[in-house]
């Protein structure tokens, strides 16, 4: 067997074989570009550790091309041509956006860290926000819609709040706080001044989405919804199932349908459609919790 040492972090087994590594860290085994490799058949055993002779090291199969091994001892890998790469351990720190990073500052997770304390605070403040709306409704200033109802960075989060799922039209969209251009170019948007999507009565959650946005489909298909279709909100704490109870076309300044109605739990979906005259009307899909 020929072993080629490329740098301090990797050893490449050039022929079929055995490669020995003794770096004091965790390791990721990946296929060599010129070889074949079945991580499920790779055998890892300790070397230079008589007390663990022939003991098989635990391995975690990541996918069809790689496995992750965490161990501080020397080991021998046998089974196929492979690349052995030193993987820097997590530093226990997060970057400015909340992602876990390793000692080199590289992200080691696909999503930011979310702490239960922050989620509890977000839920508490969301409920308080909704209760505060009940006795303060009237003519809504549409310019306020663009603002975020809560400052999500206070909870260590981005402006993402929940997902909107409608199986009958194959929709699954993220929902962001604030119906402004930036948020609405990424998904659906919550209109500030209306209820936040948590599971409680005396609420009317208003979500807006584009129709005809170039390159992406947002609320284009909500006009295909029928009475009784299921619409679901998936937030950080629960899934809330609604059913479609009505749909209508209104003028932009007709906002009564997004007001809270005593004892009811409503969700209103809003998109723009061409007016018969000039400009745009609003198409509403009104839903109520099942």
**Global pTM?**
0.63
Decide if pLDDT at 68 tops 50. no
Band of the pLDDT at 151, cuts 50, 70, 90?
A: very high
* C-alpha span between 99 and 246 (Å, rounded): 42
DSSP, collapsed to helix, strand or coil, labels residue 3 as strand
DSSP state of 123: H
Residues shown for the chain: 290
Rounded Cα gap, residues 185 and 218, in angstroms: 9
Taking only the tens place, the pLDDT of each residue in 242-255 is: 999 999 999 998 98
Q: Find, among 187, 189, 219, the residue nearest to 283 by Cα.
A: 219
CA-based nearest residue to 59, from 18, 37, 34, 26? 26
Burial of 221 (0-12, 13-18, 19+ CB in 10 A): middle
| DSSP-derived secondary structure letter, 107 | B
Residue range(s) of every CATH 2.40.260.10 domain in the chain = 116-289
Starting at the edge strand found earlier in the chain, the sheet holding 43-46 runs: 18-21, 75-78, 43-46
What mean pLDDT comes out for the span 215-239?
96
Q: Is the model's pLDDT at 147 over the cut of 80?
A: yes
- Residue 15, Cα to own-chain centre: how many angstroms? 42
Separation between Cα atoms, residue 12 and residue 14, nearest integer Å: 6
Question: pLDDT band for position 101 (50/70/90)?
Answer: confident
pLDDT digit string (tens) for 170-226? 999 999 999 999 999 999 999 999 999 999 999 999 999 999 999 899 999 999 999
pLDDT tens digits, residue range 158-171?
Answer: 889 999 999 999 99
Q: Of all residues in the chain, what percent carry a pLDDT higher than 70? A: 62
Cβ proximity of 199 and 232 under 8 Å: no
Question: Terminal CA-to-CA distance of the chain, rounded, Å?
Answer: 67
116-289 CATH pick, 3.40.50.410, 3.40.630.10, 3.30.930.10, 2.40.260.10? 2.40.260.10
């Amino acid at each position: 067997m020929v072993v080629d040492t490329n740098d301090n972090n990797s050893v490449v087994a050039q022929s079929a074989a055995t490669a020995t590594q003794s770096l004091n860290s965790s390791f990721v085994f990946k296929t060599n570009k010129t070889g074949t490799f079945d991580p499920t058949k790779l055998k890892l055993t300790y070397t230079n550790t008589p007390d663990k002779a022939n003991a098989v090291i635990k391995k975690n199969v990541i996918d069809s091309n790689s496995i992750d091994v965490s161990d501080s001892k020397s080991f021998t890998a046998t089974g196929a041509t492979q690349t052995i790469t030193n993987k820097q351990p997590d530093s226990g720190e997060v970057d400015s956006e909340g992602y876990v990073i390793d000692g080199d500052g590289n992200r080691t997770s696909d999503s930011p860290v979310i702490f239960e304390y922050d989620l509890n605070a977000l839920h508490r403040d969301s409920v308080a926000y909704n209760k505060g709306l009940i006795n303060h409704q009237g003519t809504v200033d549409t310019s306020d819609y663009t603002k975020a109802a809560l400052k999500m960075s206070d909870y260590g989060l981005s402006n993402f709040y929940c997902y909107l799922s409608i199986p009958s039209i194959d929709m699954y969209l993220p929902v962001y706080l604030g119906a402004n251009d930036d948020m609405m170019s990424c998904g659906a948007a919550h209109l500030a001044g209306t209820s936040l999507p948590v599971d409680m009565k005396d609420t009317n959650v208003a979500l807006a989405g584009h129709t005809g946005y170039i390159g992406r489909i947002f609320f284009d298909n909500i006009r295909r919804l029928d009475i009784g279709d299921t619409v679901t909100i998936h937030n950080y704490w629960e899934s809330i199932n609604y059913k479609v109870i009505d749909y209508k076309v209104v003028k932009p300044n007709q906002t009564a349908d997004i007001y809270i109605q005593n004892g009811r739990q409503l969700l209103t979906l809003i998109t723009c459609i061409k007016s018969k005259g000039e400009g745009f009307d609003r198409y509403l899909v009104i839903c109520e919790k099942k």
